[in-house]
Every structure is written in structure tokens, then in C-alpha cells.
Structure 1
Amino acid sequence: MVIHNSTIDRYSASEGYFECRTCGTRVVSSTHVASCEQCGGSVRNIAVARE
């Protein structure tokens, strides 16, 4: 029997929390954010755990 993560943890985020790598501005959005609205820098999704 193969168990997939989707079977164990059915969590699905309805909103993403994004932070600009350049200026630190944070944005909450239901769609993917490609760049910072303030400075145009790249953003990362901080709702996803980084280990």
C-alpha cells in the first residue's frame, strides 16, 4: 500500500502569504504573486514551511 501526502494531510491553502526578498513587504493573495508591488523585487511564499 502506497500512502501519499495528500492522503495524510488534505490541507490546501486558500490564501498565500508572500514576502519580498528585497524590501520585506508582505502581501496576502489568493493568486500567485510574481513580483513585489512596492519595488518590483522577487517574492517568496512564506506560507510554505522551509526546512
Structure 2
Amino acid sequence: MVLNNTDLDPYTAERGYYECHACGNRTTSETHVGSCPECGGTVRNIAVARE
């Protein structure tokens, strides 16, 4: 049986995963998120580079 990487890890670079520094809210988006939609705080992209 041959496994494809998408079978093991469904992550794609099409979506960013963001977490707010202030409130911890997490969100996904196809475009860059400039601030937290919940509190307006600073967000960081928590997507992990895949090999």
C-alpha cells in the first residue's frame, strides 16, 4: 500500500493557522490575518513548515 503525504498530514500551504498573543484565540485563513478577530490583538502564524 502506498501512502500519500496528504493521507498522513492534511496541511496545505493554502491556509494559514494563526494564534492571538493576547487571548489565545486560533483561526485559519487563506489570506494573512493582521489582527485577532476576537480582541484585535497581535496574531502569529503557527503553521509548521512541512518536509
Q: Under a length normalisation based on structure 2, what TM-score does the superposition of the two structures give? A: 0.68
Length, aligned pairs only: 38
The equivalent residue for 1:33 is 33
Amino acid at match of 1:22: A
| Distance in structure 1 (CA, Å) of the matches to 2:40 and 2:22 | 9
| Distance in structure 2 (CA, Å) of the matches to 1:34 and 1:21 | 12
Off by >3 Å, runs of 4+ in structure 1: none
Q: Percent identity?
A: 63
Q: Under a length normalisation based on structure 1, what TM-score does the superposition of the two structures give? A: 0.68
Question: Which segments of 5 or more consecutive residues in structure 1 lack a partner in the other structure?
Answer: 1-11
Question: Which segments of 5 or more consecutive residues in structure 2 lack a partner in the other structure?
Answer: 1-11
